[in-house]
Amino acid sequence: MELGLVTIVAALHDLTSIENSHYELISYLKRNFSVRFITPAEAEYVDIPLVFIASGGTEEMFRSIYDELPQPILLLTDGLHNSLGASLEIQSWIKSVGGVSQILHGKPEYLKKRIEVLSHIVSVSDKIRRSSIGIVGFPSSWLISSDVNYSEVKKKWGLNYKNIELSEVSDMLKTVSYDEAVTIADKFVNNSAGIEEPTREEVVDASKVYLAVKEVYSKNRIDALALKCFDILDRHNISGCLAVSLLNDEGIIAGCEGDSQSVFTMYLAKLLTGENPFMSNPSLIDHETNEVIFAHCTVATSLTEKYIIRSHFESLKSIGIQGQIKKGTVTLFKCGGSGLDKYFLSRGEILDNLNNSKMCRTQLKIKLDESVDYFFKNPIANHHIIILGDHIKIIEEFMDTMNCTRIK
């Protein structure tokens, strides 16, 4: 891993004397990492840039280069030459102007561990800053609290949202290969544990939607997408459930209902944990046991032990997927707010897979660590994201670094 040190030092010091006086810190870093001194303009060419506050009296100098630095800004200080005091002043100023920053200060062994953790956070933040999410067909009308302000998100995360007309999917449906759709449908059916309501031809039609949406994804050069799937159902009598499932299985993050908050949460979850996420609705909540039933009509089949091909729940048309997921620990996560600067996070345990005819097809009963009162007092909208495994620590670390507010 290559560290880049953007060194800020008061005018009465020179770089050589600073390196000598901070010998213990710098020599330790050089033994454990590849280290070079860089300018702010070179920060994007190293794995993790650190702003080395080497002395006091550097606050104005830092402010003059602030706009050139990528965020989050990591302030490195060993405390010598009044550098810690200057770092505290700088950190406070960064927060006051809406920036994202952390101070790295402590024993060398502690700093090494923190740098290793923060390298992943910086990498994910940088990936988000370079990403675009497509909202195909715009958010569904009933998601009245799931919208985001694109300009606020751009300022906070550097992320671009791109509105894509649903007509692009409709146009692609006319040109995709029927034979390719048949091949995909047959494979999906053969790998399933059974097929109940749909016909084989309905699975083929759903496979055509998958091919069309994938073409739209490639054409628009986006990194993730949320599909207004109910409008596809209205226009073509075909659900988007199979398309979303297969895309997620391929590592292309795809959400439902044009939900801009949830698809961001899914994308972030994938970048942080490497796991495919499951977008779901809280459907029933038990106050006494602190258990929630989460359900949705699509799931990445890679998450399941087995799956049954069903109809879409609300319409009883086309394709839905009833997946069975192994019992075990999960993480529940949701980002929200107009700038995506709020979040909910809880560890949980899958207790059972259900088969209730009055809910969406994939149904999980999960016991949460955090109180279910959250859902009644201050929920971040409807959809919540389930990630297999315990990922609380890295998500907490990332969201805290990015100055996001945790909702409980």
CATH class (in words) of the domain with range 2-129? alpha beta
Predicted confidence at residue 399, as pLDDT, reads 98
| pLDDT above 70: residue 260 | yes
Predicted confidence at residue 143, as pLDDT, reads 63
Q: What is the CA radius of gyration of the chain?
A: 24
Residue range 216-236: mean pLDDT, rounded: 95
As a whole number, the mean pLDDT across the chain is 95
pLDDT confidence bin for 14, thresholds 50/70/90: low
CA distance from start to end of the chain: 36
Yes or no: say if 296 and 278 are a contact pair by the CB < 8 Å rule: yes
| pLDDT above 80: residue 13 | no
Query: Tens digits of per-residue pLDDT, 302-321?
Result: 999 999 999 999 999 999 99
- Contacts for 173-178 with beta carbons within 8 Å, 24 or more apart? 173/208, 173/209, 173/212, 173/236, 176/208, 176/211, 176/212, 176/215, 177/211, 178/204, 178/208
Predicted confidence at residue 104, as pLDDT, reads 97
| Percent of the chain residues past pLDDT 70, beyond the cut | 96
| pLDDT above 70: residue 145 | no
Residue 36 forms beta bridges with which residues? 4
Superfamily for domain range 132-406:
L-fucose Isomerase; Chain A, domain 2 (3.40.275.10)
Residue range 60-73: mean pLDDT, rounded: 95
Looking at residue 6, its amino acid is V
Q: What is the maximum span of the chain, computed from C-alpha positions, in angstroms? A: 79
Residues of the chain within CATH 3.40.275.10 domain(s) are 132-406
Query: Tens digits of per-residue pLDDT, 366-406?
Result: 999 999 999 999 999 999 999 999 999 999 999 999 999 99
Determine the Cα–Cα distance for residues 227 and 169; give it in Å rounded to an integer.
10
Predicted confidence at residue 45, as pLDDT, reads 93
Determine the Cα–Cα distance for residues 252 and 350; give it in Å rounded to an integer.
25
Phi first, then psi: give them for residue 161, nearest 5 degrees: -100, 140
| pLDDT above 70: residue 141 | no
Residue range 231-241: mean pLDDT, rounded: 95
pLDDT confidence bin for 10, thresholds 50/70/90: confident
pLDDT confidence bin for 138, thresholds 50/70/90: confident
Predicted confidence at residue 17, as pLDDT, reads 66
Predicted confidence at residue 20, as pLDDT, reads 77
Residue 349 forms beta bridges with which residues? 329, 367
pLDDT confidence bin for 46, thresholds 50/70/90: very high
| pLDDT above 80: residue 15 | no
Query: Tens digits of per-residue pLDDT, 70-107?
Result: 999 999 999 998 999 999 999 999 999 989 999 999 99
